[in-house]
Structure 1
Amino acid sequence: MFDADINREDTIIRRAEERGHADHGWLKSAHSFSFAGYHDPDWMGFGPLRVINDDQVAGGAGFPMHPHADFEIFSYVLEGKLEHKDSMGNGSVVKAGGVQYMTAGTGVRHSEFNPDTENPVKFLQIWMVPEESGAKPGYQTLDIPPAEKDGKLRLFISKDGREGSIKTLAPAEVYAAHMTEGQETRFTLPEGRKAYIHLAEGSAQVNGERLWRGDAIALSAPGEVTLSGGEEAEVLLFDLKA
């Protein structure tokens, strides 16, 4: 199901315009991996990473209650506000810079709406495959202060929940960074792991390769990853089990 021919080389560039696109009026979405009516056998996923949807939801609109099971699902809010309600009784509104995280496990229903009737909400919705099925469903939120990711990688999802991160059942660790001119940060990808770096906003260089909003780079070999040349760049780095 996962990877298909994605690992033809150690480094694959995924340009924003190559993604699948959908326009439902109230929802505009770009799909980094095969999703719904968009299917590309070369982009079925990358390790446990299964979905990155770059969503914009119009004011007052949203996704009504619908079910999920056996996925780790989180939304990374880029602009505006996102309201969550679920069958576990949880409810919250997450603003830009915030994360809402759900372990679907044995099954849960949830909705996501834009509570602002005038302005859109922009966010990344991301699904990862857990290492175990049938887990107890759960929900968490996390606000990431700008200073904690300014010119550096801030761990916000991990297997062990260290450094104040959200604990996940997926074999993954996820970092966020905001990079501007003159800043540089490095990450060492160990053996047995691979990385997917997604430019959520702005522009930056990853190992000298210039990426713009919606672009991504998939790395399948261990070694050092360098982020530099940021132009108001919001970067997500996924450290994934190979």
Structure 2
Amino acid sequence: MQNLKDKVAFVTGGSRGIGAAIVKRLAAAGAKVTFTYVNGKSQAEALVKELTEEGLTVVALQSDNAREGAVSAAIDQAIEHFGKLDILVNSAGVYVGKAFEEHTTEDYDYVMNVNVKSVFEACLTASRKMEQGGRIVTIGSCMADRAAVPQATLYAASKSALSGFTRGLSRDLGPKGITVNLIQPGPVDTDMNPSTSEFSDFQRGMMAIPKYGRPEHIADAVAFLASPTNSYTTGSVMTIDGGTLS
């Protein structure tokens, strides 16, 4: 297990699914973790209780990444509480699935605000506060490279934007010793994409390893990229998809 003792981490969208697995993994490795949630207050409180009872340090903040400035305010609050920020994980994301002709500009703004603009805001705030050796990890999607299902245009476009953003930001922050990386999961068994959905057999049919990933698969990769061990990997796009894109 990676050693993150004395590190302070901030995770957006950490109350459930992949985000919750990331919170657990970083906290278990010794980091003090603040995570955000939008509506899942009971889930967030349950996660804090579970990890606190294990002797780990975890704080939950209600924050809606769709609102401009919300994630920046939450990061500032976390830094005020813990005194610094070493690790930023952008895990929050939304999906609006409908026929393209039914979309509205409000749908576009919502998806882009959460999936792209809030990542920009979080990275901007974090980069101004992080010291040498900071780590930024963003959760994208393999649909950025292959939108294999219908009704995913906005989602795929938003996740595609993260690839260019990650590479550009790695150049900007490299001189400060801050690494910036992107993880693109494939089908992962969460409430957002359950392995028992009407599309699950189709998705398994696209994989080299025909089974859904677990949130822990993604969390393990985040822990590596966020660790002191990883001082040389930056600007990378790591696809963890069971061979969906192979």
- Same topology, TM > 0.5: no
Larger fraction in helix: 2
TM range (shorter): 0.3 to 0.5
Choose between structure 1 and 2: higher strand proportion.
1
Q: TM-score, normalised by structure 1?
A: 0.33
